[in-house]
Amino acid sequence: MKKYIILLLLATVSFTFTACDNETEPGGTAVEKMAGTWYVTWEQKNAQGEWEDVLGGTVELNTYNTAANVPTEMWLKEGYLLNTALKVATNYAGRTFEMAEQTVSVAPEVWGASEITLNITDGKVLADAATTPSGMPADSIVFFVNVQGDDTYKIAGFRRTGFPADE
């Protein structure tokens, strides 16, 4: 009987030590400081040359890495006016992005056509440059979208904090 107890004890101890492996640190993505969920406004210049909110509030925008997971590109997904994901070129060290002119499919009831041509310029992600509705600092995003070579929109906002006061 002693022999079985000793064997059981040895088996238990050996299982205990094999279960104590260190966890692997998964790391981040190649554009992690530019990626996130953002609350942004769409603004267009009025007759006086001042930027004016065209939607009457904020909409959600998402930025995330591509499958290649490289620091030279990321996805920018806007689900309201454009309702599409756009692959933009990034300069991760400078936290900037842009997209050359591209034709994208859109909702004809919003844009008057099923496809529009647009480009993105002067895209920037700025660390702690925004103030959220709750008064806390957050990262800021700003970029310009030129549609059909005519209308230019300024999209600007802050990174989602997760606090109810900022939602």
Render pLDDT for 83-133 as a digit per residue (tens, 0 to 9).
Answer: 899 999 999 999 999 999 999 998 899 888 999 999 999 999 999 999 999
To the nearest whole number, what is the mean pLDDT of the chain?
91
Report the alpha-carbon distance of residue 126 to residue 132 in Å, rounded.
Answer: 14
Q: How many C-alpha atoms does 59 have within 13 Å on its Cβ side?
A: 16
User: Which contiguous run of DSSP H or E holds residue 59?
Assistant: strand 59-65
- Per-residue model confidence as pLDDT tens digits over 9-22: 766 666 666 555 57
Return the pLDDT at 126.
98
Reported as a pLDDT band with limits 50, 70 and 90, residue 135 is very high
CATH code for residues 36-162: 2.40.128.220
pLDDT (0 to 100) of residue 167: 86
| Residue 23 pLDDT level (bands cut at 50, 70, 90) | confident
Average pLDDT over residues 48-74: 96
Q: What distance separates the 2 farthest-apart alpha carbons in the chain?
A: 94
Q: How far apart are CA 141 and CA 96, in angstroms?
A: 10
Mean pLDDT of 132-144: 97
Q: Which amino acid, 159? A: R
**pLDDT greater at residue 82 or residue 119:** 119
How far, in whole angstroms, is CA 138 from its chain's centroid?
14
Closest CA to 64 of 15, 25, 97: 97
Q: Span 18-43, mean pLDDT? A: 85
Q: What is the pLDDT of residue 20?
A: 58
Could you give the percent of the chain with pLDDT greater than 70?
Answer: 89
109 versus 7: the higher-pLDDT residue is 109
Contacts of 132 (CB under 8 A, 6+ apart): 138, 158, 161, 163, 165, 166
51: number of CA atoms within 13 Å, CB side?
Answer: 9
